[in-house]
């Protein structure tokens, strides 16, 4: 396999990892004011993602850094082109990150409610905007011969992209609700499950609509398979949730996110950012890539250290595998 292909796959894997992991902590953040009836509930919810959310977010930083190293043109065009949505995402992540840390540092209901609101918006905005961004990447945006994005903010807010935003928001919300039903106990667990069931028809409908449109507009024969499998995993996850099989339900939503993201990357290949101005101006895995030497060096680094990272992150999830319940935290 060519190194440019390896790195295209690796960057796809990093985004998949980011969406699967941060997906559920975004979901929990959005659900915080919805499912958390009192401060104890909300603390349980935040504690459920407490040990891992920061590590989850690093997947984004590494996806950014890896894109810079392996496909500098892609990094430059994407982030200068999607400047304002990215700014919103960054501000949301800043406020959300400090909110987790600051919320418990002062004993006042008003103080905590303020930070809860920050967690809600700080989770909702990126969950929505990442979908908008990826739908635009797959659909193509105006890019000129110099690889410079020539549209504006409103170019990015087209119906297809907004639908993409609803899909990521919906999937992450469902993923988060299922995660909470898996990681908490008692009433909160029951409410999380009920919410997952209530929202699942809408999420399934929006996700199916988006994936079918994507398949028709930008699909390849192979992506019929991943699209179908993604839909199957989502429905399987919902069925598992109905039956109260929480582990399987979470596996279902996780696999859905994996396959849906993989579908988008497969649709994209061999482009990394198609130009809607002219196919000649599209950024591809070839014309956006770093030199073979850099890709070789980075491949060695990734091959050695990715398994190590996966190992200790998995171990963290193992350490904090127990359910969080109401009794001890209320003390």
By CB under 8 A, what part of segment 35-64 binds other proteins?
A: 43, 46-47, 50-52, 54-55, 57-58, 60-62, 64
Verify binding: residue 329, other proteins, rule CB under 8 A. Answer: yes
Verify binding: residue 215, other proteins, rule CB under 8 A. Answer: no
Distance of closest approach, residue 73 Cβ to other proteins, in angstroms: 6
Verify binding: residue 158, other proteins, rule CB under 8 A. Answer: no
Q: Which is nearer to other proteins, 257 or 288 (CB)?
A: 288
Q: What residues between 133 and 152 interact with other proteins by CB under 8 A?
A: 146-150
Q: Which is nearer to other proteins, 48 or 266 (CB)?
A: 48
Contacts with other proteins by CB under 8 A: the residue count is 76
Residue span binding other proteins (CB under 8 A) among the ranges 167-175, 200-208, 226-234, 295-303:
295-303
Query: What secondary structure, in 3-state letters, does the chain show?
Result: CCHHHHHHHHHHHHHHHHHHHHHHHHHHHHHHHHHCCCHHHHHHHHHHHCCCHHHHHHHHHHHHHHHHHHCHHHHHHHHHHCHHHHHHHHHHHHHHHHHHHHHHHCCCHHHHHHHHHHHHHHHHHHHHHHHHHHHHHHHCECECCCCCECCCHHHHCCHHHHHHHHHHHHHHHHHHHHHHHHHECHHHHHHHHHHHHHHHHHHHHHHHHHHHHHHHHHCCHHHHHHHHHHHHHHHHHHHHHHCCCHHHHHHHHHHHHHHHHHHHHHHHCCEEECECCCHHHCEECCCCCCCHHHHHHHHHHHHHHHHHHHHHHHHHHHHCCCCECHHHHCC
Q: Which is nearer to other proteins, 106 or 220 (CB)?
A: 106
Question: Pattern of binders to other proteins over 71-110, x per CB under 8 A?
Answer: xxx-xxxxxxx-xx-xx--xx-xxx-xx-xxxxxxx----
Distance of closest approach, residue 210 Cβ to other proteins, in angstroms: 26
């Amino acid at each position: 396999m060519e190194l440019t292909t390896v790195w295209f796959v690796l960057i796809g894997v990093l985004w998949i990892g980011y969406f699967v992991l941060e997906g559920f902590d975004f979901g929990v953040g959005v659900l915080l004011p919805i499912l958390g009836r009192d401060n104890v509930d909300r603390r349980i919810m935040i504690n459920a993602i407490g040990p891992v959310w920061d590590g989850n977010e690093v997947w984004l930083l590494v996806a950014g850094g890896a894109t810079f190293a392996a496909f500098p043109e892609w990094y430059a065009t994407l982030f200068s082109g999607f400047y304002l949505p990215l700014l919103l995402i960054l501000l949301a992540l800043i406020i959300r990150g400090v909110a987790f840390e600051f919320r418990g540092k002062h004993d006042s209901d008003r103080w905590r409610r303020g930070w809860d609101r920050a967690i809600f918006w700080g989770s909702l905005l990126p969950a929505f905007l990442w979908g908008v961004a990826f739908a635009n990447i797959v659909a193509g945006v105006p890019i000129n011969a110099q690889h410079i994005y020539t549209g504006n903010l409103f170019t990015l807010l087209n119906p297809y992209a907004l639908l993409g935003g609803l899909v990521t928001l919906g999937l992450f919300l469902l993923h988060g609700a299922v995660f909470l039903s898996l990681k908490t106990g008692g009433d909160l667990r029951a409410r999380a499950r009920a919410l997952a069931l209530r929202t699942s028809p809408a999420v399934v409908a929006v996700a199916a609509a988006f994936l079918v449109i994507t398949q028709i507009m930008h699909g390849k024969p192979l992506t019929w398979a991943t699209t179908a499998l993604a839909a199957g995993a989502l429905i399987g996850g919902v069925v598992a949730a109905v039956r109260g099989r929480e582990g399987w339900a979470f596996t279902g939503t996780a696999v859905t996110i994996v396959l849906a993201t993989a579908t988008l990357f497969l649709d994209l290949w061999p482009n990394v950012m198609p130009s809607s101005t002219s196919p000649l101006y599209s950024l591809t895995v070839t014309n956006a890539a770093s030199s073979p030497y850099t890709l070789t060096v980075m491949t060695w680094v990734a091959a050695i250290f990715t398994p190590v990272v996966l190992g200790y992150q998995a171990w963290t999830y193992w350490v904090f595998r127990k359910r969080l319940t109401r009794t001890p935290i209320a003390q």
